Amino acid sequence: MLTFILRRILLIVPMALLVVTVTWGLIRVAPGTFYDSEKKLPPAIEANIRAKYGLDQPWYWQYWLMIKNVAKGDFGDSLRYIGQSVNEIIWRHLPYSATIGLLAYFIALIIGVSAGIIAALKQNSRFDYGAMAAAMLGLSVPNFVLGPILVLVLALGLYILPPARWGGISGLILPVATLAGVYAAYIARLTRAGMLEVMRSDYIRTARAKGLSETVVLLKHGLRGGIIPVVSYTGPALAALLAGTVVVERIFSIPGLGNIFIQAVLNRDEPLVLGIVAFLSILIMVFNLIVDISYGFLDPRIRYE
């Protein structure tokens, strides 16, 4: 297990550098630069800007300087937010995305796992059909539709909650509910499918034959194997939530990483784009490693040699 963990940790840095390299190449291939505007800059000023940011050097030298700094965790200063480093911007806006993302996934986990377990235990019942129908509805309604509907009904119609902006618990309810909807639907369906497969397995029948109560069979034996699909889904989903969900943050005017990332792309702010992409890729790899490790505790048949 220790060898497996160390090997995966050592792969994180080169994989993150590969992602940054691909992103850097796509930025350079795209037309335009960060200093482009509707009004053309004088040649002298444009030359000074190119010299300041090293854009007058050959592409391979620019790439070498970029990859050398990124390998040290230094993404430099933002090209648009003058005097602010990329690392400072990420850490300043991460708490907004993390708060909404963690709350949304925690609520989605409770609702989805509970609904999935009950639906699996009461297969082909009214609850099963109703829960899966609600899950399909949740999967079919995207965030950019659900968010405005909630704002229209609860904020502009009933005047119960604020329509946007960050501040207070009431300001978290709508964005968290918008995010949690689709994730709860995914988790409910994954839990139901996993529990149906596990509860029909041989070792569950053996546990019942030994006289164990249905509660012990469900919690001690069935649940550990039944939620493995949910655990697999949790890794990349949680990383994406922590890094910021663009649509929800734009709808509710939340200054999270997703909103900042869109602004960085529109502004052609290369260091900030590279920093957020690298941060997201590392998050995904770390959470996937945690998921792989958890497999060994959930399923005793899984071993990492």
* CATH code, 125: 1.10.3720.10
- For residues 148 and 117, state if they share a domain: yes
Query: 74 or 220: whose pLDDT is higher?
Result: 74
Q: How many domains does the chain have?
A: 2
**291: in domain:** no
50-64, 131-145, 269-283: the lowest-pLDDT one: 50-64
Residue-wise pLDDT tens digits, 60-106: 888 888 888 888 888 888 878 878 889 999 999 988 888 888 899 99
Residue 127 pLDDT > 60, yes or no?
yes
State the pLDDT at residue 30.
76
pLDDT category at 45 given cuts 50, 70, 90 is low
What range does the domain containing 218 cover? 94-266
Show the tokens assigned to 49: 């800007």
Residue 182: phi and psi, rounded to 5, are -70, -35
d(CA 177, CA 94): 19
- For residues 107 and 204, state if they share a domain: yes
Rg (CA), the chain: 24
Which of 275-294 are b and which e, b meaning 16 or more Cβ less than 10 Å from the residue's Cβ?
bbbbbbbbbbbebbbebbeb
State the pLDDT at residue 301.
64
- For residues 145 and 250, state if they share a domain: yes
State the pLDDT at residue 113.
92
**113: in domain:** yes
**76: in domain:** no
Residue 38 pLDDT > 60, yes or no?
no
- For residues 35 and 114, state if they share a domain: no
State the pLDDT at residue 269.
85
Residue 9 pLDDT > 80, yes or no?
yes
- For residues 134 and 245, state if they share a domain: yes
Query: 85 or 296: whose pLDDT is higher?
Result: 85
Residue 107 pLDDT > 90, yes or no?
yes
- For residues 50 and 121, state if they share a domain: no
Residues 6+ apart with CB under 8 A from 238: 101, 105, 287
Query: 268 or 31: whose pLDDT is higher?
Result: 268
State the pLDDT at residue 52.
66
What residue has token string 């990492």?
304
pLDDT category at 224 given cuts 50, 70, 90 is confident
- Check if the beta carbon of residue 113 is closer than 8 Å to that of residue 191: yes
